[in-house]
Structure 1
């Protein structure tokens, strides 16, 4: 893709995303937030995907031209996964599950380090300190999963010898060490050969056990919107400072049924991106309809809640008829 050279520093920072069809908008707004909060940095953003539409490419081209930052699209070949299709659990996962496991190999020879980010996060500050993290002998830097229940269940379930478990939504990766340790291959085999509760994240914890430098939670501050909306809370409720906020769980800021102020924050950022004017995603699945109805009830919007619950019931009935 063409781009206008940036006037920022001479050493670009490489940031990679792995996306499927539903996450291009989220990624584009995430990139916008990174650029706006790090105006003195020159970036090269790498987008890894199995499918890329012409519309996606046009918007990404407009984004790089607007900011004078480079965006490289890497369209993956599904043949890269052929060696793992014979394993029993391979078919249980969508192709998108495998993308981030393929990124370091795809950037070998392009850069020594890459910051991998999930597409469902927003940047609210300077990320310089994260980029300068000394990895020592480790392969990657990441943030521990702050939920004690996850750590207490996944460490023994996965047989992690070092007793730690990280969230894979933000990873600063030493590419050569990753490749030398066959991290991708080990993770792909783990993901394909056994049932894993958290899919590729579990697989990466297996492959990187003892080789992760743990960094401050502000670099991957998880905000599980369902938890807050289930309590009827609509305002951003944060404790310590944060730079990267990661919206985990089924509710995202670009969902119209996200009845939280982060939706407005997202829309403000989106308005300054090539996705400006794109309507938010409406609830479609039975699960989404049920959640929306529940959130409305928590906010005492009873009539609306009942209406959406009826839509949920109709969706469930259609599902049962199809499976019959």
Structure 2
């Protein structure tokens, strides 16, 4: 049994469905329990996700944390896109059944394109989390704000293999709550900053293929291109967990080179056929938004997959 967790509100039910379908489709030999931390989902929305899991022989469970558990928390970066539900992952150990000692947390702007069993089997002895370095981990000012050494690194919190036994033993949920109230000015990137602040000494970094973030597909500087291709080429060409961390594939102006992977799995959900570009107005907006790239007034942002 592999335990998966997601946290969503009503705005992300469709995207959660895509993440789950991609996971189930590419891991048919596995059995999953999906633990969905939610905020205000209707009975119909819960049933949709329950039915989706059941279609693959899996089960979905729903948890709605009491608002007072996150009293005083605020959203900083990307507040138009992220709700308070983002902090639910910080208190996972308080919400899930105590007989679950290992958990794979996935954001719902993700598609899973391969076998996750090797990642699931990552040793977690004595550590709180296994994760992939964030694309911003070389940003020195971030460490100045968070007050810990840059050599410890900084992980992306969108994909986390969590040692729940460790979290309970060391009361990570309580530590997150206390840290936020003590140092709110340090928390810029919401729960990601918070979890890094608590777990920076108690984590292990894993291979990029387990969380291939948007910015890794951006065109490198010419002097870095050869080293970049050697380091990232294989993972970018064959990601296992593809994470749309910037513009989302469902946005009308997405330029991500693998945005169509999202729609491949969307069409296996009740939202089959839905596209932003079905709206003629969005087609016009996309044309004018991308026109500077078409006529070479702006340089392309993303690599071409054929260049890998």
TM normalised by structure 2 equals 0.78
Partner residue in 1 for 2:289: 294
Q: Pick the aligned partner of 2:127 from 132, 138, 143.
A: 138
User: Structure 1 residues 119 and 98 mapped into 2: Cα distance closer, same or farther (>3 Å)?
Assistant: same
| CA contact 2:65–2:95 (8 Å) conserved in 1 | no
Pair 209,35 (structure 1): closer, same or farther in 2 beyond 3 Å: same
For residues 185 and 61 of structure 1, what CA distance do their matches in structure 2 show?
Answer: 30
* Equivalent position of 2:92 in the other structure: 103
CA distance in 2, matches of 1:70, 1:221: 27
Partner of 1:268 in structure 2? 264
From the superposition, tell whether residues 91 and 198 of structure 1 become closer, same or farther in structure 2 (CA, over 3 Å): closer
Q: Tell me the residue number matched to 1:232.
A: none
Residue in 1 that maps onto 2:44: 55
CA root-mean-square deviation: 2.9
Matched-pair contact (CA < 8 Å) for 2:9–2:38: yes
Q: 1:158 — aligned with what?
A: 146
Q: Where do 1:22-171 residues align within 5 Å?
A: 22-82=11-71, 85=72, 90=74, 94-150=83-139, 152-161=140-149, 163-171=152-160
Q: Does residue 248 of the first structure (1) align with residue 245 of the second (2)?
A: yes
- Structure 1 residues 37, 53: CA separation in 2 closer, same or farther (over 3 Å shift)? same
Q: Contact 1:254–1:280 (CA<8 Å) still a contact in 2?
A: yes
The secondary structure found in structure 2 opposite 1:109 is coil
Q: CA deviation at 1:224?
A: 3.6
1:39-85: CA deviations, max 9, x gaps?
10000111101210233223212202321111111122212223xx2
Unaligned runs of 5+ in 2: 220-228, 298-308
2:194 is aligned with 1:194 = no
In the alignment, the residues of structure 2 paired with residue 260 and residue 215 of structure 1 have an alpha-carbon distance, to the nearest angstrom, of 24
- Cα distance, 1:153 vs structure 2: 2.4
TM-score of the superposed pair, with normalisation by structure 1? 0.74
How big is the shift at 1:252? 0.7
Segments of structure 1 that go 5 or more residues without pairing to the other structure are: 1-11, 229-236, 284-288, 303-324
Alignment partners' CA distance in 1, 2:75 and 2:250:
29
Matching residue within 194, 197, 210 for 1:219: 210
Shift of 1:29: 0.5
Q: Deviations over 1:161-197 (max 9, x none)?
A: 4622111111111112112212122223333442222
Matched residues, number: 271
Higher alpha-carbon deviation: 184-193 or 22-31: 184-193
Q: CA, structure 1 residues 76+142, in 2 after alignment: closer, same or farther (shift >3 Å)?
A: same
Mapped to 2, the partners of 1:103 and 1:292 lie a distance apart of: 43
Residues 124 and 243, structure 1, Cα contact 8 Å, conserved in 2: yes
SS at match of 2:23: helix
Query: 1 CA distance for matches of 2:217 and 2:50?
Result: 34
1:239 to 233, 242, 254: 233
